[in-house]
A and B are shown apart, each in its own frame.
Chain A
Amino acid sequence: MDKKEKQSMVAREKQEVTGAETTRPGRTFTPEVDILEKENEIVILADMPGVAAKDLNIGLADNILTLEGLTGDAEADNEMAVVSEFETGKYFRQFTLADSIDQAKIEASMSNGVMRLVLPKVAKAQPRKISVTAA
């Protein structure tokens, strides 16, 4: 266990998306993401609790990647709120991708409310090792 995992977690309120108006009612939040780059691919991990795999929409157009996750209402009709500390709504976030991505090979999965999106780089964007030969 490294040092990071021993830390205790701190409650943070979800960041709400401001500015853009949506046609659906309800709030829109920014999911927290990790973006990492490997030799052949870019991986995006996003925390979207409450989003089922079927409610996740991922779009890529003109190098703009759009992530959208819809959440259902978890509460039954006969429930009354006693304490409300967090709010639910949809998740929305966009990124501009610098590298060219092989759109046909994009893979996404959802597990326990965490999205894992693998964006493979196209062959020409992959680093090529050029060996220098001594004369």
Chain B
Amino acid sequence: MITRTFFPWSGTGNPLSQLERLSRQLDGLMGERGQLFGWAPVSGVFPLANVTESPDAFFVRAELPGLGADQIDISITGNTLSISGQRAIPDEEGASYHRRERKAGAFSRMITLPGDVDTEKVSARSVNGVLTVTLPKSEAAKPRQIKVKTA
């Protein structure tokens, strides 16, 4: 039997994610907006988000370390999800800083989902600094099994 590899590069998960990573790296080389070839960068907006899809729902995940569940504002309008909030890293008293790599500030991001969602049933939870928003698909957007009949 002949087997053909469509995606010869190794690695797990979606091969498209490799392309997206490459595209982001190219965007980085071309400057902030990737104007050289007229395409828009994948995002560049904090927080970076991973969107996945199951037959019943979309899932949006973002890494928001240091932010508790009550410090993240999430709203949904139609199929556009908005995530916003503010991360504060207060100076500690009587301390001299050797390194400061962690960043604080306000953030706001809109993510438009590729399909319709049931806005009433959207839920979000934050575990160990990773936010997961579960957006169940509306009935019309769910895949429907179609039986193929024999003649």
Contacts and interface: CB of A to CB of B under 8 A. Distances in A.
Instruction: Report whether chain A binds chain B.
Output: yes
Given A85-B42, A113-B65, A114-B129, A36 B95 contact: yes
Contacts of A8: 46, 105-108
B17 interface: yes
Contacts of A7: 104-106
Q: What range describes how many residues of A lie at the interface? A: 35 or more
Contacts of A62: none
A84 interface: yes
Interface stretch (A75-83, A101-109, A123-131): A75-83
A113 B104 CA distance: 15
A51 B129 CA distance: 8
Contacts of B132: 74
Contacts of B106: 5-9
Given A34-B97, A112-B126, A79 B59 contact: yes
Interface of B: 12-14, 16-17, 20-21, 24, 42-55, 58-59, 61, 63-68, 86-89, 92, 94-108, 114, 126, 128-130, 132
12 contacts: A6-B105, A7-B105, A9-B87, A9-B103, A10-B103, A25-B12, A35-B98, A74-B130, A79-B53, A83-B51, A85-B49, A111-B66
Interface of A: 1, 4-13, 25, 32-39, 43, 45, 47-52, 74-76, 78-87, 110-114
